[in-house]
Chains A and B, each alone.
Chain A
Amino acid sequence: MIRDITIGQYYPGKSLLHKMDPRMKLILTFAIIIVIFLCKNFFSLGIIAVTAVLAAILSRVPLKMILKSLKPIVIILIFTAVLNIFYTQGGDTWFEWKFIKLTEKGVFTAIFTMVRIVSLVTISSLLTYTTTPTMLTDAIERVLSPLKIFKIKVHTLAMMMTLALRFIPTLIEEIDRIMNAQKARGADLETGGIIQRAKALVPIFIPLMVSSFRRAYELAFAMTCRCYTGGEGRTRMKQMKLKIIDFFALVACIAITAGIIVLNHFFEAVI
């Protein structure tokens, strides 16, 4: 049922990746994602794939969990693979039947894109598996703090994100409660066409909106009562410190990037 939805898919653990500074994790994940798109041939892509596998092993997150994060993209994967196979033509023709034509280049491009997407999702989901949502928003706040120069209220943004995350379980509970109340009045949520079903959601979402606004007012009031005035001069309970492992990770990432650039240079590009 609706309770099964998990957002913020933190997997508790004590691995090296869990212990890393969330700021470093965040920055390096972004860096690697950019680097993934620098890869031009299977050798450089291989480095990324190996990195993804190694990181997964290091994180000690069970394989089942990682596969679960890949599940939502299966359709996208198939779609891109099929498109690439038929729209990229070139090299030897391996198979031909009426309008279907399999070529060397098409197949290679398809495999290349798939590996790329899978690595991308694996690496980015490892970030959320090993970092709690609160730590992540904290890290985002710290990483974005240079934007203060442009008068962007980074702290406010981060606080909004934290609050949004905090209220997801509450809202799910609320939806559950309202759904039951409307079902008790005979609301039919399970049958009917798409328009009918969309209509059936009205009795759920209006009370949800109303109570969300009420909650928001109450929360703002409670925060004001506790003298919340924004980020100015606020200190934090958990200080973030860079450790040796963070520098290791940084060096590893630089090495990976260098390796990819070199390999791109020496071998023929697939894409």
Chain B
Amino acid sequence: MNYALETIGLTHYYSKGTPQQVAAISDVNLKIEKGELVGIIGHTGSGKSTLISHFNGLLKPDSGKVLVNGVDIHKDKETLRNTRFKVGLCFQYPEYQLFEETVYKDIAFGPKNMKLSDEEIKERVFKAAAFVGVKKEHLNQSPFDLSGGEKRRVAIAGVMSMEPEILIFDEPAAGLDPRGRKDLIELIKEYRKQTGSTVIVVSHSMEDIACMADRVVVINNSTVAMQGSVDEVFSRSEELRSMGLNVPEITEIFAKLRAKGIDVPANVYTVEQGAEILRRLASGRCAE
């Protein structure tokens, strides 16, 4: 079986051929299965953004390959162009890419570039807008009249409307308030559940990754430093710290509780999990 996305020895240099040449990413080997939700973490400048720009062919690797469904995306021009639609990439602060007169037209930009029929475009726009929670009456408004959170939703709908097989988010929740953050995470989870697409999320927030990813990839010093389930990665807190990363806050609280001699599990990664355990613990004490 082919992987949804696979990279083989992916390497990219910046300022190639000059004395300042640096490897932005070097020898990255990743295998992402169909339908997986993968979280990519790494500190600023570790090469995360460069890496995901290779996934839809915006950047061309200096060596190595990117395979989508087993096909090299740089095989020919046609393949490359189709990859843009197969692999949807939603950049950081996507609201800054809005440009059309109306929300409808902006969401339709992607499908229109795919040369779909008008009916199909309409169908997709309504579907994507409904999914992200953009109200129908907003569709005829200018996107610039919306609030920040709504703009972001419109921009995300603009990528979703292409119905990509793989959807990549770069810091989707950056700059949102806690509520907006939570809603967006739920939205991404729901999207995966409904469409069964592969989803890749890049984030600084360990909490966000912990509560949605099936698998976590840690990027450090331009290459893959660790990968595995949420459990496997976040249990290695010392290593993560040495890379300038951290474990979710709740995990740290539980580690401190354990250090004080309270018998709680170490593998707690989401607040919900933690709350549940504490509740049980409290009710147990009361029973005594």
On whether the beta carbons of B97 and A207 are closer than 8 Å, the reply is yes
On whether the beta carbons of B113 and A187 are closer than 8 Å, the reply is yes
Query: Which residues on the A side are within 8 Å of B81 (C-beta)?
Result: 186, 188
A206 touches B (CB below 8 Å): yes
- Complex CA–CA separation, A181 to B113 (angstroms): 14
Which residues 30-84 in B have Cβ within 8 Å of A in the complex? 53, 56, 58, 81, 84
Query: Which residues on the A side are within 8 Å of B172 (C-beta)?
Result: none
Query: Which residues on the B side are within 8 Å of A178 (C-beta)?
Result: 96-97
* Partner pick for A185 among B53, B96, B113, B144, CB 8 A cutoff: B113
B121 touches A (CB below 8 Å): no
Among listed B85-93, B123-131, B280-288, interface-contacting one: B85-93
* Partner pick for B96 among A187, A202, A207, CB 8 A cutoff: A207
B209 touches A (CB below 8 Å): no
A196 touches B (CB below 8 Å): no
On whether the beta carbons of A180 and B91 are closer than 8 Å, the reply is yes
On whether the beta carbons of A186 and B85 are closer than 8 Å, the reply is yes
Q: A180-B91, A210-B144 are in contact. Are A185 and B159 (CB under 8 A)?
A: yes
B206 touches A (CB below 8 Å): no
Give B87 Cβ to nearest chain A Cβ, in Å. 8
On whether the beta carbons of A183 and B84 are closer than 8 Å, the reply is yes
* Partner pick for A182 among B53, B88, B97, B162, CB 8 A cutoff: B97
Q: A203-B109, A210-B144 are in contact. Are A184 and B99 (CB under 8 A)?
A: no
- Complex CA–CA separation, A214 to B144 (angstroms): 12
B248 touches A (CB below 8 Å): no
Give A192 Cβ to nearest chain B Cβ, in Å. 12
- Complex CA–CA separation, A211 to B96 (angstroms): 7
Which residues 193-218 in B have Cβ within 8 Å of A in the complex? none
Give B53 Cβ to nearest chain A Cβ, in Å. 7
* Partner pick for A184 among B89, B98, B114, B144, CB 8 A cutoff: B89
- Complex CA–CA separation, A177 to B94 (angstroms): 10
Give B237 Cβ to nearest chain A Cβ, in Å. 34
On whether the beta carbons of A186 and B96 are closer than 8 Å, the reply is no
- Count B interface residues, CB 8 Å: 23
Q: Give the bracket for the number of chain A residues in contact with chain B.
A: 10 to 19
Closest to A202 in B: B99
Most buried by B among A181, A182, A183: A181
On whether the beta carbons of A185 and B98 are closer than 8 Å, the reply is no
- Complex CA–CA separation, A210 to B100 (angstroms): 12
- Complex CA–CA separation, A202 to B114 (angstroms): 18
- Complex CA–CA separation, A182 to B88 (angstroms): 11
Query: Which residues on the B side are within 8 Å of A182 (C-beta)?
Result: 97, 109
Query: Which residues on the A side are within 8 Å of B56 (C-beta)?
Result: 184
Closest to B144 in A: A210
- Complex CA–CA separation, A202 to B97 (angstroms): 11
Q: Lowest 10 CB-CB distances: which A-B pairs, in order?
A: A186-B113, A206-B99, A181-B97, A184-B89, A185-B110, A203-B99, A181-B91, A186-B84, A207-B99, A180-B58
* B residues lining the A interface (CB < 8 Å): 53, 56, 58, 81, 84-85, 88-91, 94, 96-99, 109-110, 113-114, 144, 158-159, 162
Q: A181-B97, A184-B159, A185-B159 are in contact. List 16 more A-B contacts (CB 8 A).
A: A177-B91, A180-B53, A181-B96, A184-B91, A185-B109, A186-B81, A186-B113, A187-B109, A187-B113, A203-B97, A203-B109, A206-B99, A207-B96, A210-B99, A210-B144, A211-B96
